[in-house]
């Protein structure tokens, strides 16, 4: 449920054009970021909050240009620090719907520390993680998610670093919400962003974004329209994890791992297929689903984890409310006169 107590609802119905800014969009033609903008402009009016209550915070990178392109309050921060800035903003004013736009470098290299800690605290913000697996703005150096062996401007002989799997990092940081979407499925992205907004806590939405200039087709194996039905599985809560062009493949839990099976073969029926529980607080199976990699597995899309949990900002407000009700010290004058004092 959307926590309407926190963020005030708009008295009038808003539409997509309410969120279009007057700034010129400067991403390269064909960049996957355009689709993310489209999805956000779709979903903000649907979420239904007052226009003034949306705040968009970003770091530095192509992705971090985002706040200029939506007509909300915006803060374009410094490299890596969006999560920290957004944390302060949300804790200061829990009545805002705070969105972070960040890149793979911004969030997981220079900003890695803030990323894991905002997740651990579960501050109620939404993070749009534009994962193009490259440093776009600085023109093509490898990032923490660049595939091993990739040739980039700073790895002419191929990278020798193991990339992060974003879901692994999020769940390792005890994140309560994780979703993944390809940039060429705006409909799914819109649905997922809506779920992220509903979640009370830090919601990370990893978008497999294509950087047409510096890492073109880096997600192609997964997102290519020709093959995507076999390379992606779209998870829906309460439904069996089925995929494939003919919807005849599925995921089962065998022993302690997941396995791809074909329905109708070796006696497998739809009843054997794993049913997705995104609300489970136990991250065990969600972790495994998030970890699935092509070509051996389909890559999981949609909301993988949405575990209900208390948010930091709610807890912080509650502590203050309680203290205000119970403490003898109600003003700084009280404080100055508390403890040992004497008259001269």
**Residues of the shown chain interacting with ligand SF4 in the complex, contacts defined by CB under 6 A:** 27-28, 31, 33, 62, 132, 136, 211-214
154 vs 319, beta carbon nearer ligand TPP = 154
Q: Which is nearer to another protein, 91 or 241 (CB)?
A: 91
DSSP for 89-135, written as a single string:
HHHH-TTSEEEEEEEHHHHHTTTHHHHHHHHHHT-SEEEEEEE-SSB
Residue number with CB closer to another protein (90 or 249): 90
Tokens 């529980």 sit at which residue? 277
CA angle, residues 130, 131, 137, in degrees to nearest 5: 75
User: In angstroms, rounded to a whole number, what is the distance separating the alpha carbons of residues 242 and 258?
Assistant: 13
Distance CA 45, CA 222 (A): 30
Q: For residue 167, what is the enclosing H or E element?
A: helix 166-172
138 binds, among Mg ion, ligand TPP, ligand SF4, none (CB under 5 to 8 A by kind): ligand TPP
Nearest approach, Cβ of residue 324 and Mg ion (Å): 44
- Quote the least distance from Cβ 192 to ligand SF4, whole Å: 20
Closest CA to 260 of 296, 226, 207, 221: 296
Closest distance between ligand SF4 and the C-beta of residue 27, in Å? 4
Is 104 among the residues that bind Mg ion (CB under 5 A)?
yes
Nearest to 143 by CA among 153, 130, 151, 133: 133
Site size with Mg ion, rule: CB under 5 A: 4
3, 138, 174, 224: which one binds ligand TPP (CB under 6 A): 138
Q: In whole angstroms, give the CA distance from residue 289 to residue 202.
A: 19
Q: Out of ligand SF4, another protein, ligand TPP, none, which partner does residue 324 contact, by CB within 5 to 8 A per kind?
A: another protein
Least spacing, CB of residue 39 vs another protein, in Å: 20
Listed ranges 102-110, 160-168, 215-223, 290-298: which one lies at the site for Mg ion (CB under 5 A): 102-110
302 binds ligand TPP (CB under 6 A): no
Could you give the CA distance from residue 207 to residue 62 in angstroms, rounded to a whole number?
14
Site string for ligand TPP, 59-98 (x = CB under 6 A): -xxxx---------------x-------------------
Q: Which is nearer to ligand TPP, 53 or 132 (CB)?
A: 132
SS3 242: strand
CA distance 98 to 96: 6
For Mg ion, which is the closer residue by CB, 32 or 74? Answer: 32
Site map 23..42 versus ligand TPP, x via CB under 6 A: --------------------
Cα four-point dihedral sign 13, 15, 19, 21: negative
Nearer to another protein, 275 or 315 (CB): 315
Cβ proximity to ligand TPP, 142 vs 243, nearer residue: 142
- Order of strands across the sheet with 242-243? 242-243, 249-254, 257-262
Q: Which does 106 bind (CB under 5 to 8 A by kind): ligand TPP, Mg ion, ligand SF4, none?
A: ligand TPP
Shortest CA distance to 126 belongs to which of 178, 188, 72?
178
Residue with smaller CB distance to ligand TPP, 84 or 303: 84
């Amino acid at each position: 449920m959307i926590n309407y107590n926190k963020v005030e609802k708009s008295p009038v119905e808003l539409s997509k054009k309410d969120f279009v800014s007057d700034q010129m969009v400067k991403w390269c033609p064909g960049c996957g970021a355009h689709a993310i903008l489209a999805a956000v402009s779709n979903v903000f009016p649907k979420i239904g909050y007052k226009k003034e209550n949306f705040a968009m915070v970003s770091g530095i990178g192509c992705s971090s240009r985002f706040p200029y392109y939506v007509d909300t309050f915006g803060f374009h921060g410094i490299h890596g620090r969006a999560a920290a800035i957004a944390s302060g903003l949300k804790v200061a004013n829990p009545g805002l719907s705070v969105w972070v736009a960040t890149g793979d470098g911004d969030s997981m290299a220079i900003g890695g520390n803030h990323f894991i800690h905002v997740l651990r605290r579960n501050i109620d913000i939404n993070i749009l993680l534009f994962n193009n697996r490259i440093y776009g703005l600085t023109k093509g150096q490898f990032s923490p998610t660049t595939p091993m062996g990739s040739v980039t401007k700073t790895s002419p002989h191929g990278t020798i670093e193991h990339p992060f799997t974003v879901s692994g990092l999020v769940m390792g940081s005890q994140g309560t919400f994780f979703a993944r979407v390809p940039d060429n499925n705006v409909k799914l992205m819109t649905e997922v962003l809506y779920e992220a907004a509903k979640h009370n806590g830090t919601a990370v939405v990893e978008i497999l974004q294509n950087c047409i200039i510096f890492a073109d087709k880096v997600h192609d194996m997964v997102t290519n329209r020709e093959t995507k039905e076999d390379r992606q599985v779209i998870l829906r809560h309460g439904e069996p994890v089925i995929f494939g062009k003919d919807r005849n493949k599925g995921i089962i839990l065998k022993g302690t791992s997941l396995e791809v099976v074909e329905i109708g073969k070796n006696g497998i029926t739809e009843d054997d297929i794993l049913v997705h529980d995104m609300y489970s607080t136990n991250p065990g199976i969600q972790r495994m689903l998030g970890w699935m990699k092509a070509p051996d597995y389909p890559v999981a899309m949609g909301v993988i984890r949405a575990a209900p949990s208390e948010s930091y900002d709610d807890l912080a407000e509650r502590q203050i409310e309680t203290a205000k009700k119970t403490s003898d010290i109600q003003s700084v004058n009280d404080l100055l006169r508390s403890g040992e004092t004497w008259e001269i």
